[in-house]
Amino acid sequence: MEFLKPLIALLAIVNPIGIVPFFIHFTQGLSREQRARTIRVASISAFVVIGVASIAGGKIISFFGISIASFQVGGGLLLLLSSIQMLNAEPADVRREDVDEGQAKAEAGASVAIVPLTIPLLTGPATISTIIIYADKARGIWQHTALVGYGLVVGLAAFLAFSAAGRIAKVLGQTGINVMTRLMGLILAAMAVELLSDGLMQLFPVLGTHLAR
């Protein structure tokens, strides 16, 4: 189960079903062809963002001289904040300005696939932080390949959720979507605490000594 933790964390953060109301809102004025293109672009873009973060993310934080332990603590805090948002039935990493910007683009007939659907609704700071942390823990080409593959799974999940947006909204309703968002937030909160404790013990080994007593 250890190797599935990154995938579970990513799906919990991204939570494509929780983004469905935003997708419906931003694409309600688009034609069927425009909506289909938006789904494809958003799904592929989410995969690309996760893939690039898993391959180059570690090199980027090394360039800035940031230790993975410090990044893990920061990422854990970010995940915890995102999980609190989700426990309040709000998608992670969503700001009012992003929603307003998406609405303005939709009204202008512009594509909303990249902003705000891909960034920050699908792959915000919490998603990128998580994949970088797990990429640092990966050992060997197969584990790194698996992380990129998880990005493909997330992109596919987004594609399926957006393609079935109308049916999902009809079956679950806003209440059902809120329940799923809260459940994902609870899972994410537990993972955030685990990342935080691991990072803190790396930064302050004395904490591990006291806990062992």
In tens, the pLDDT along 127-163 reads 888 898 888 888 888 988 999 999 999 999 999 999 9
pLDDT tens figures, 161-179:
999 998 988 888 888 888 8
Q: Which of 141, 123, 134, 178 is nearest to 13 (CA)?
A: 123
Cis peptide preceding 120, ω within 30 of 0:
yes
**pTM for this model (two decimals):** 0.75
**pLDDT interval class at 94 (50, 70, 90):** low
Range 138-141, long-range pairs (CB < 8 A, 24+ positions):
138/54
Rounded CA gap, 136 and 131, in Å?
9
Query: In terms of residues, how long is the chain?
Result: 213
Contact status, residue 180 vs residue 17, Cβ threshold 8 Å:
yes
Residue 157 contacts residue 11 (beta carbons within 8 Å): yes
